[in-house]
Amino acid sequence: MEPYFFLSYARRRGPRVLVKRFYDDLCAELRQELRRLHKGNTVPFDRPFFDVQSIQVGQDWNAALGEALGRCRTMLALYTPEYFRSDFCGREWKAFEDRQRRHRSVTGVDAKALIPVLWEPVQNIPAGAAHIQYDNFDFGENYARWGLRRILAADPGGEEYRRIVHLVAHQVLVAAEHFRILPVSGLDLTAPEAAGPFPSAAERAEPGSHALLFLAARTSAEAHNGATDPGCHGDSPTDWNPYHADGSDPLAARASRLLEERGFAVRTEIVSDAMSASLDEARGRGQVAVLLVEALAAGDEPFGRALRAYDRSNHPGSAAIVPCAPEEAGDGPRSKAYWEAVRGALPFNWAKGVGDPLPLLQSGVSSDQFDGALHAVVVKVQNHLVSFLGTLRTSLLEMSQSLPPPLPVLSPAPPQSDRPRPGPPPTPARPFFEPIPIEEQEQDR
């Protein structure tokens, strides 16, 4: 199968109503265009790829994305400010653009199969995407000023929206039918070398950035009850090394080194009942946090109690990684115990990650996947934290503007005299405020 297009967009929390509407409308328009092209004859139409519809529950999302990106005929990139802050969107971009370059080097033809759609206005296009022309005079001034999302929200069945969808469908049709860029197989979007241009996984953090690592892991005595230690545990949870067959560094040391290479100052703590307070403090300071959890330790107290409290709470700027040893990745009894432990400790995060190409609960992470997974989730939680703090500041500002004006300070009563007392001062006119315009609400969050 060769999906007619791959829809690449920044995943937001909540329902994606408008993105889904655009996807459905574009599919319908493409079917009509194909019928016109083939004079009414029925033609095969490989269903375009939209993650929340095309990846089934229980399916390996990385394999599904890699397969679709390696075989799709075109890729539509929905431009938003979040798109160009998304590490994973950058990975999708790079994977498809690499295919275009390979096609150009083999055939000498520039397929122009990466099609930008201005979903929301973007102030600064990063250098890695600046060579793609996205301004289109035919789409009109409203499209250039407001983006397609606002046009759709204002009038879903309107002439302007339908005309733009028709023009996008024509671009897809030309690239898909006339170029058919060469497919590739085996794409792994989580690999470190798959990092795209916005931002690169090697991009350094802002000066003064801090990251917090939380460890939930057993010691050798707790894990083996006096039996021979196979090498993954030590005297402290910070000695835990689930990847001991591949290297001697404990996981906390490996994660700290990776984050320090990115420019973070790193502090490591053991998961305890005080973790929620530490996370709240880190969030207030704009610090990201990553939990490194041994699955079979998640039921031990106080780890289990602290993790369940974390799971019930919303902590913007945090993510959890649950490494997986080779014997826990197969079909044996250790694999079953591993997945039951993960679901039991973090059920809400487990359910929330279904259908998300980059969930904030990363489970089943092997040694060769760990570095890429850590970089990817740190970028994602940074973006979540920036968005959360910005929304919080805006809400506080709006609240302060809506408060009534302070009461006037009354001066002490003057000493009485024989003069006639003046009448009461005139009541000041009630201040008049211009109505504050309400910004358009996010309908697809």
Domain for residue 233, yes or no?
yes
Total domains, the chain: 2
| Whole-prediction pTM | 0.50
What pLDDT sits at residue 352?
A: 85
Least confident of 70-84, 270-284, 382-396: 382-396
Which of 353 and 93 is assigned the larger pLDDT? 93
Least confident of 4-18, 140-154, 178-192, 327-341: 4-18
What pLDDT sits at residue 228?
A: 47
DSSP state of 80: -
Tokens (6 digits) for 166? 């028709």
Cβ atoms of 181 and 103 closer than 8 Å: yes
Domain for residue 199, yes or no?
no
pLDDT in tens, 240-251: 999 988 778 899
Domain for residue 272, yes or no?
yes
CA-CA-CA-CA dihedral for 296, 302, 307, 309, to nearest 10: 150
Same domain, 129 and 221: no
C-alpha 121/C-alpha 304 separation (Å) is 44
What is the per-residue DSSP string for 61-76?
HHHHHHHHHHH-S-EE
Which of 366 and 429 is assigned the larger pLDDT? 366
**Does residue 408 surpass a pLDDT of 90?**
no
pLDDT in tens, 176-231: 888 888 889 888 888 878 888 876 544 556 656 889 999 999 998 888 765 445 67
pLDDT-derived band at 444, boundaries 50, 70, 90: very low
What pLDDT sits at residue 198?
A: 78
pLDDT-derived band at 60, boundaries 50, 70, 90: low
Same domain, 187 and 214: no
Domain for residue 408, yes or no?
no
pLDDT-derived band at 406, boundaries 50, 70, 90: low
C-alpha 26/C-alpha 115 separation (Å) is 13
For residue 367, CA distances in Å to 67, 126, 156, 163, 302 come to 22, 32, 47, 49, 27
Same domain, 73 and 163: yes
Same domain, 258 and 379: yes
Q: Which domain holds residue 384?
A: 210-389
Least confident of 116-130, 183-197, 262-276, 398-412: 398-412
Same domain, 152 and 220: no
Please report, for the domain that includes residue 297, its CATH number: 3.40.50
C-alpha 6/C-alpha 69 separation (Å) is 7
Which of 353 and 7 is assigned the larger pLDDT? 7
**Does residue 439 surpass a pLDDT of 50?**
no
C-alpha 225/C-alpha 218 separation (Å) is 11
Domain for residue 346, yes or no?
yes
Domain for residue 328, yes or no?
yes
Of residues 56, 60, 63, 54, the one with CA closest to residue 8: 54
Which domain-ending residue is among 389, 411, 435?
A: 389
Same domain, 156 and 263: no
Q: What percent of the chain has pLDDT over 70?
A: 78
Same domain, 147 and 236: no
Domain for residue 314, yes or no?
yes
pLDDT in tens, 308-343: 999 998 788 899 999 998 888 777 788 888 999 999
Q: What angle, 0 to 180 degrees and rounded to 10, lies between the N-to-C axes of helices 303-312 and 275-284?
A: 40
**Does residue 403 surpass a pLDDT of 60?**
no
pLDDT-derived band at 62, boundaries 50, 70, 90: confident
Which domain-ending residue is among 350, 370, 389?
A: 389
Domain for residue 215, yes or no?
yes
Same domain, 217 and 359: yes
Same domain, 38 and 179: yes
What pLDDT sits at residue 100?
A: 92
**Residue 118 host element (H or E):** strand 114-118
Same domain, 302 and 253: yes
Least confident of 5-14, 38-47, 56-65, 406-415: 406-415
Residues whose CB falls within 8 Å of the CB of residue 234, separated by 6 or more in sequence, listed in order? 219, 220, 240, 241, 250
